[in-house]
Amino acid sequence: MISFLNPAVLLLLLLMPFAGVFLRWRQSHYLQRLQLMGTQFVFRNNWNWTRQVIWLLVCVLLILALSRPVWGTELIAVETQGVSIVFALDVSKSMDAEDILPSRLERAKLSLEDMLDKLSGNELGLVLFAGSSLVQFPLTTDTLSASALVEQVTTNSISAQGTNIADAIRLSIQSLAAASKGKHIIILLTDGEGHEGDVNSAVAEASQLGITIYGIGYGESAGALIPVRNPDGSISDKRDQTGNQVHSALDEKTLTTIATSTGGSYERALSSGKEVQDIIQAINQYMPNTLNKGIQVTGIERFDIFIALAVILVTLQIILPRLQK
């Protein structure tokens, strides 16, 4: 079955009737000029029509070539190269704070989707964490499906509340254990506040395995109240067990320590998105490794056949005479 990679080009075929009319007019005008000049030539009507048909066929063949026709298939060996990266995204309730718009979590999701797009071709995975952690999707090169899963993430994705960064790092390490050989990276997207568990031992484990951790912090050091959406649609501030408002602030010190301990770096989220560019630039400095090899079935482009036929017809038109004395 024939398909076309540039089917819109086929619309040019609609111009061929007009081209035929133009060629016929041009030939008639040419003969009139010869008669006015008194040139005594015997015109071959049959060959004249043949030449016009040849030029129209040449145009049709070139249009078909530009539309990039495909039929038949072939097997080709493909090799994916890159690094393996697990994103650890904080989905605790403090990420609902709006000291960075539209909220810490929504801003982190925008950063994550941007990185999925710009790091396409690498192995990418996502771990969600709050009081506990889960794998939202394992390492994959399918960034389209990955982005769809990111859009579904909310602060209700994990019921256990808290900010257990240590657990997130350990689960990320486990996810990277199934990765291809080469550079392994963890990118933390969090406000870093209220961390639970033994973060130092988790970071030390990552460092021993040669895993580099980068951190992006969301929020302001001054902090903000955490909004809570009530069942009736109203919004109130989150309160602790004693009734006091819960105030959440960005913990840059902890995130900086985590990142630098593994040879990575920490960036604060800015409205310009500069933090994403800086981390991507740092990641691109690593030597890509072969992630996987496989066989891919692909269609065979046949444009060269149409170009060859067009060249043959043009050559035929040139070498055969138009007029005879």
CATH 3.40.50.410 placement within the chain = 84-287
Instruction: Look at 209 and 38; give whichever has higher pLDDT.
Output: 209
Closest CA to 115 of 293, 288, 282: 282
> Once rounded to an integer, what is the mean pLDDT over residues 229-236?
66
- Reference 125, options 13, 133, 287; nearest CA is 133
Rounded to an integer, what distance in angstroms lies between the CA atom of residue 202 and that of residue 171? 10
Q: How many residues does the chain have?
A: 325
- What pLDDT is stored for residue 162 in this prediction? 82
pLDDT band at residue 90 using 50, 70 and 90 as cut-offs: very high
| pLDDT, averaged across the chain | 83
Q: Which among 288, 122, 100 is positioned nearest to 189, based on CA atoms?
A: 100
3-state secondary structure of 300: strand
Higher pLDDT, 239 or 301: 301
d(C-alpha 303, C-alpha 10), whole Å: 13
Element (H, E) at 155: none
Q: Which helix (H) or strand (E) holds 268?
A: strand 266-268
Average pLDDT over residues 241-268: 86
pLDDT tens digit sequence for 108-124: 999 999 999 999 888 89
pLDDT at 8 over 50: yes
The fraction of the chain above a pLDDT of 70, given in percent, is 81
Q: What is the pTM of this model?
A: 0.65
Tell me the pLDDT band of 80, cut-offs 50, 70 and 90: low
Of 76-90, 126-140, 264-278, 299-313, where does mean pLDDT reach its minimum? Answer: 76-90
Range with lowest mean pLDDT among 8-22, 46-60, 176-190, 237-251: 237-251
Q: What is the pLDDT of residue 323?
A: 46
Give residue-wise pLDDT tens across range 153-163: 999 999 888 88
| Spatial distance between the Cα atoms of 269 and 95, rounded to a whole number of angstroms | 13
Q: Which residues of 227-239 are buried (b: 16+ CB within 10 A; e: fewer)?
A: eeeeeeeeeeebe
- Cα separation of 290 and 280, whole Å? 19
Say if domain 84-287 classifies as CATH 3.40.50.410.
yes
Answer whether 143's CB lies under 8 Å from 116's CB: yes
Compute the distance between CA of residue 230 and CA of residue 238 in angstroms, rounded to an integer.
10
Task: Give CA angle at 214 (208, 215), nearest 5°.
Answer: 130
Q: List strand residue ranges (DSSP E) for 57-201, in order.
A: 69-82, 84-90, 123-129, 133-140, 184-190
Compute the average pLDDT of residues 301-323: 83
pLDDT at 78: 55
